[in-house]
C-alpha cells in the first residue's frame, strides 16, 4: 500500500458517524480495517455496529490487506459539479483478498483497466480527511 498527499480539502468529504469514527481514524494512520462479528465470524464493509448476518452487537475491528481483484469499473465523463475538475475518472468495484466487495475510485490514466487484474490500496491524505482508492498492481 502506498499513500499520496493532496494539498487541498477533499471535494466531498464523508460524513463520519460516531460508529464509523474508528475506520476514519485508522485510515488517517494508514491502516485499512473493518468490523468482524465475534459470534458468527462474518466480516462486513463498510464497518457495522450490528452484524447483518446474525444481528450480534459483538463486533471487533480487523485489519484488511488492501489487496484485491478488479471486479468491475466505469469511466465517469459527466460528473457532479463538485468533481468537475477531475473528469474523467474511474469508479471501481474491488473484490478484496479477504472476500469483501468494496466500491472506490481507481487511480491512473488507463483507457481500459483489466477486469480480474490485481489492485492495491492507496491512501489519499487531504487536508481535512484521509480517503482510500485503488490502483492497478499488487502493491
* DSSP symbols for 101-119: EEEEEE-S--SS--TT-EE
Mean pLDDT score across all residues of the chain: 93
Residue 62 predicted with pLDDT over 80: yes
Spacing of C-alpha 22 from chain mean position: 14
pLDDT at residue 109 is higher than 90:
no
Q: Which residue has the higher pLDDT, 68 or 139?
A: 68
Bridge partners (DSSP) of residue 122 are: 2, 133
Joined together, the cell numbers standing for residue 93 give 468495484
Task: Work out the pLDDT band at 94, boundaries 50, 70, 90.
Answer: very high
Percent of the chain with pLDDT over 70: 98
Q: How many CA atoms lie within 13 A of 85 on its CB side?
A: 4
Residue 111 pLDDT more than 70?
no
Could you tell me which of 7, 6, 24, 3 has the C-alpha nearest to residue 15? 24
Once rounded to an integer, what is the mean pLDDT over residues 93-113?
Answer: 91
**In the structure, what pLDDT confidence band is assigned to residue 33 with cuts at 50, 70 and 90?**
very high
Q: Report the C-alpha gap between 6 and 99 in whole angstroms.
A: 30
**Phi then psi dihedrals of residue 24, to 5 deg:** -70, -35
pLDDT band at 17 (very low <50, low <70, confident <90, very high): confident
Confidence of residue 138 (pLDDT cuts 50, 70, 90): confident
Amino acid at each position: 500500500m502506498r499513500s499520496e498527499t493532496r494539498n487541498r480539502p477533499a471535494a466531498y468529504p464523508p460524513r463520519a458517524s460516531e460508529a464509523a469514527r474508528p475506520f476514519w481514524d485508522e485510515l488517517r494512520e494508514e491502516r485499512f480495517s473493518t468490523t468482524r462479528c465475534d459470534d458468527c465470524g462474518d466480516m462486513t464493509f463498510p464497518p457495522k455496529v450490528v452484524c447483518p448476518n446474525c444481528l450480534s452487537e459483538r463486533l471487533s475491528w480487523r485489519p484488511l490487506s488492501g489487496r484485491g481483484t478488479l471486479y468491475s469499473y466505469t469511466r465517469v465523463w459527466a460528473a457532479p459539479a463538485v468533481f468537475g475538475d477531475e473528469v474523467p475518472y474511474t469508479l471501481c468495484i474491488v473484490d478484496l483478498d479477504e472476500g469483501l466487495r468494496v466500491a472506490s475510485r481507481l487511480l491512473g490514466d488507463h483507457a481500459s483497466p483489466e477486469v480480474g487484474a490485481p489492485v492495491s490500496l492507496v491512501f489519499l491524505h487531504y487536508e481535512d480527511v484521509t480517503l482510500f482508492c485503488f490502483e492497478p498492481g499488487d502493491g
